[in-house]
A and B are shown apart, each in its own frame.
Chain A
Amino acid sequence: MAAELRVYARSNLRSREGFFFTLIFPIILVLLFGAIFGGGSSGPVTVYVQNHDSGFQGVNVGSLFIMALNQTYAESVNSTYTATHSVTAAIRLVSVPLDQNLTQYLSSHSATDGISIPADFSQAYLSDRPVNVTLYGNPASTTSAIVSGITREFINHFNSVGATGVHSVGVASAVAVSSSYKYIDFLIPGLIGFSALTSPMFAMVNISSTYRRDKVFKLLSLTPLTKTEWLLAKIIWYIGTTVVSFLLMSLVGIYVYGAHIAFNWGIAMFLVVGPFFFVSLGMLVGTISNSPESAAVVGNLVTFPMMFLSGTFFPVQAMPMYLQTIAHVLPLYYLIDGLTNVMIYGNFAPAYFDVGLLLVISVITFALAVRFFRWRED
């Protein structure tokens, strides 16, 4: 048995895939997850604030409230406050003009979190009457949980350092996004992205390298089939499988978990451009690698980080800033972002940008893949 173990261990480590999965992959996983969850605070969550406070006796308590909130939790964190309180996340306050409807504004900015200060805030506060600020959020969104925690903590503090009298500022919760309010709804775009990424990538990396090794490409070069036709056929197939997997996921999501899915044509454009990109990328990776083994390694190195860092399973806004910057370079981020815009917020303008960007990247990748793809070896 020991001899068997020895020989197997050697073979496993000698094969590049074995080496990758045994040693390198766990390191990458720890680095990624540590970065996402452990290291550093998440980037600031954007909170849209609307101050309707009309003021009272020359004082606008609402503005003071916002200023204090800003100083305490926004980018430049007050050092005396941090000495006595632990700040785990930060927010960024954006002021919303008073002529806008806050809920609509949130939707059109693909945001879930907002604070609205009522018109009689100053009056009530200075007259020692209880008053509420309205906190908009979505019970299913991670960012809302962060914002809610911060806001309530701040309000407690605000209440306790007020001037004389009993002040009770409370929080009234409201939901900004009406149709998607289960956690699973927020997951679905990420999961579609996941399937649009993994299925074509793994398949194309594999066939582009094994067909070359098995001389199937050489064989096909003897027929009238062109490289473009071959690759396009693959793209069409993976668009099909992505659509089917989307439908299956939706069915299961709806019937098993009660998800709400807004079926619209916006989704379709992502279901087309996603596979277009990932088939081309997988092909490119497989073509430039020398063997199926090294192709698999490169493919994994590309696929796994992209998978975790693009917001597939956890929202990008909840990650540290430097990871958020990285995410903005990953095509999958734009796919998921676009799907989120379309499916959850009904926000088509940024989605068009996402899909346009993806289209351009896809065309370039496709062109490169065809360019480097050789039927004939020499």
Chain B
Amino acid sequence: MPAIVVEGLEKSYGSLRAVDKVSFSVQEGEVFSLLGPNGAGKTTTIEILEGLRQADGGTAKVLDMDPWTRGYDLHQKIGVIPQGFKFLDYPTPREAIGYYGALFNRKVDPDEMLRRVILEDAANIWFQNLSGGQKQKLGMALSLVNDPELVFLDEPTTGLDPQARRAVWEVIRKLKDEGRTVMLTTHYLEEAEELADRVAIMNHGKIVAMGTTEQIESRYGSGQRMIVKAGDALLKFLKENTRLEVASGRGTVTIVLRDKEDAMVALGAIEESGAEWGDLTVRKDSLEDVFLRLVGEEGKTEKEGE
């Protein structure tokens, strides 16, 4: 039974279509990520599912309930960290967890919750004095007070330094190990790649690609390529003697590899050609390449050196 089913979801603000006929489903126990640049509509979508915003059209069923009309019941069963989680200034993490425990009418051991999110050593610090990473961790702890089967995380690591980010990822992985369903939004590719079972790439309110990382790469990517540092001589040889698709770049020759056969043929041909050649790399379109292509210049990028 899918935990979340979304069909043709729509939400507009004036003339801006924030969510434009979005459809997807999330299975129980999986980690599903909405990935996209800022303004893609990810937060709007997830907030509709959390029962915080009302959709203009389409349907959404979370744990078989309509989030807007059955928000009160739904909130008993889900955990949410909203975007830019901010709490009251003065409660300490321990007090905050106690507060939420009382609100949800559940017996919660604050120390145990704090240990789960690795926040024990900040148990008695005022919220306003916590670091960004500690605040996020508290947000996660609060979202788990009611032992939810489904957790929504909206941009859980934005603004955190790399260590804090890794620590939050650890907690998210633990959630999955506990059998919970997790839906998160992010604009960090790495995060989607590392954590999610399936990813939906969103841009301008629409889903432009969806599936596992491999599925997206193979469907939308341009496959594997062999890149050789060589000149026109090799290019000519390959064109004349093989049926490989070749192209030239800046001092390089790119050979499209449709399968393993192509790889063997290419290597053989290179040796046979006797042409000058240097470094050889095999590249495959990564999620990043796909993302950038699908999303254009607006995509957030952390380019590795080529």
Contact = CB atoms under 8 A, between A and B. Distances in A.
Given A221-B52, A223-B100, A215 B75 contact: no
Contact of A218 (B52, B76, B103, B104): B52
Interface string A197-222: 00000000000000000111011011
B75 A376 contact: no
Contacts of A221: 52, 71
B53 interface: yes
B254 to A, nearest CB: 49
A223 B52 contact: no
A223 B71 CA distance: 10
A225 B145 CA distance: 14
A378 interface: yes
Interface residues of B, number: 20
A222 B53 contact: no
A224 interface: yes
A326 B87 CA distance: 42
Interface stretch (B78-86, B111-119, B168-176, B263-271): B78-86
B50 A215 contact: no
Contacts of A225: 103
Contacts of A218: 52, 82
Interface in A213-262: 214-216, 218-219, 221-225
Given A224-B76, A224-B103, A219 B87 contact: yes
B204 to A, nearest CB: 21
Contacts of B88: 216
B54 interface: yes
A93 to B, nearest CB: 59
The dominant DSSP class at the A interface is loop
Nearest to B80: A222
A187 to B, nearest CB: 34
Nearest to B74: A222
B53 A378 contact: yes
A376 B84 CA distance: 16
A219 B87 CA distance: 8
Contact of B75 (A214, A216, A224, A378): A224
Given A376-B53, A378-B53, A378-B54, A222 B87 contact: no
A221 B51 CA distance: 9
Interface in B30-84: 50-54, 71-72, 75-76, 80, 82, 84
B105 interface: yes
B41 to A, nearest CB: 15
Nearest to A220: B103
A214 B85 CA distance: 9
B96 to A, nearest CB: 11
Contacts of A378: 53-54
Contacts of A224: 72, 75-76, 103-105
B159 to A, nearest CB: 15
Contact of A223 (B51, B53, B84, B103): B103
A374 to B, nearest CB: 11
Contacts of B85: 219
14 contacts: A215-B82, A215-B86, A218-B82, A219-B82, A219-B87, A221-B52, A221-B71, A222-B50, A222-B52, A222-B80, A223-B100, A223-B104, A224-B105, A225-B103
Identify the 7 closest CB pairs spanning chains A and B, nearest first. A223-B103, A214-B86, A222-B80, A222-B75, A225-B103, A376-B52, A224-B103
Given A216-B87, A224-B75, A378-B53, 9 more contacts: A218-B52, A218-B82, A221-B71, A222-B51, A222-B52, A222-B75, A224-B103, A225-B103, A376-B53
